[in-house]
A and B are shown apart, each in its own frame.
Chain A
Amino acid sequence: MIIQFNGLTETIPEGLNISELIKFFGEGDPHVIVEQNGRYIYPKNYDTCKVMENDRIEFINPNLGG
C-alpha cells in the first residue's frame, strides 16, 4: 500500500504497525520520534498503532544540542 513517508511517496506491505515500520525503513535511531498524520505517537503505542493506506508518516530524529 501507499503512504507518504518523510514527504515522499513510498510503497509498504499492508498491516504493519509502527514498530514494524521502523524496522522496514531500517531506522537506526532508537530515540526517533514518530508522527502519524500530524500527531505524535508515544513509543508505548508503537506495537498497537497500525499504519493505514495514505497515512502521512514522519520519522523525526531529535536534536538536543544547544
Chain B
Amino acid sequence: MALLDMNRYARQIKLSQIGIPGQETLARSRVLIAGAGGLGSLSSLYLAAAGVGHLVIVDNDRVELSNLNRQLVHGEASLGTPKTASAADRLGRLNSAIQITPAQVMIEEKSIDGLLEGVDLVVDGCDNYPTRQVLNRACLRHTLPWVFGGVQGFDGMITSFVPGSSPCFECIFQDPTINPGTSPQNNGILGATAGMIASIQAMEAIKLLLGIGNPLTNRLIKISGLTMRITTTTLAPNPDCKACSPHRAKKRR
C-alpha cells in the first residue's frame, strides 16, 4: 500500500477489524450506489472517504434546488446538471484515488444486469418499490448482497439482504402498491433523516465487504427520529416468496 494511502486511511487501518488487509480489500471492491438522492448522496461520500476502490453511481435525474436540504453530495453549482455527474465530481474531489463511474440511466430490467457487472455489493438509494423490485431480483440472480434503506419524514428503516442468508426485499415488502413516501402529499423529509440511515448503510456495506461484525441480515431496524425509538425486528425468509423461493430451492438441489 502506498505511503499516501497509509496516511489517508490511518485512522481506520488502526482498527484491528480492518488493518491493511481490510483496506486493500476495500480498494479492490466495486459498489453500486442505486440512486444519488438523499441516501445515495451520503452513503457514497462515506464509501468514497473510506477508500472503496470503485463506485458506480446510478441515477437518471438532475439536481434541483429542493434536493439540497438532504442530498449533500450536490451543491448549488450543480443545479440543473445530471446527478451522477454532480456526484462523480464531488466524490472525485473528496478522493481522487478511487474510480467513479457515473451511469445516467434508470434502473430497470434492461439496464440492471450490465450495471451489476463486476459489482461486489449494492447500496440502495432508490425512492420507490418497482426499482427496488428490479434490484432485488437482479441481486438474487447474481447472488449479490444489497443494503436496503428507506426514509420518510423523520423516520427510516434499514436491513441487509444477502441471497442465501436472509429473506429478500419481496419477502418483507410484499405489496407493490406500498406507499413509497414520495407522493407530492407525503414527501416531506428532514435531511438528517437521510443522513442517519445512509450512515448506517455505509457501515453495513463496509462490514459486508470485509466480512466483519454482525451485519444486519435477518434484522430490520426502524428509527423514529422524533421520539428516537429504535426497534429491531427479527426477519425470516417467506417460504411463499415468489422472488427468492425458486433461488432457495435451486440451492437446496
Contact = CB atoms under 8 A, between A and B. Distances in A.
A and B assemble together: yes
Interface of A: 6-7, 29-31, 33, 35, 38-40, 42-44, 58, 60-66
B231 interface: yes
B70 to A, nearest CB: 10
A66 B234 contact: no
A66 B149 contact: yes
B173 A64 contact: yes
Given A31-B175, A64-B179, A65-B182, A40 B151 contact: no
Interface in B171-194: 172-175, 178-182, 187, 189, 194
Given A38-B232, A40-B235, A40-B236, A64 B172 contact: no
Contacts of B240: 44
B152 A63 contact: yes
Contacts of B170: none
**Residue from A33, A39, A42, A62 whose CB has the most chain B CB atoms within 10 Å:** A62
Interface in B139-190: 149-153, 155-157, 172-175, 178-182, 187, 189
A39 B174 CA distance: 17
A43 B151 CA distance: 22
B129 interface: yes
B222 interface: yes
A40 B172 contact: yes
B128 A38 contact: no
A63 B181 contact: yes
Contacts of B229: 6-7
A63 B235 contact: no
Interface stretch (B94-102, B119-127, B242-250): B119-127
Contacts of A42: 238
Contact of A63 (B40, B155, B231): B155
A61 B234 contact: no
Nearest to A42: B238
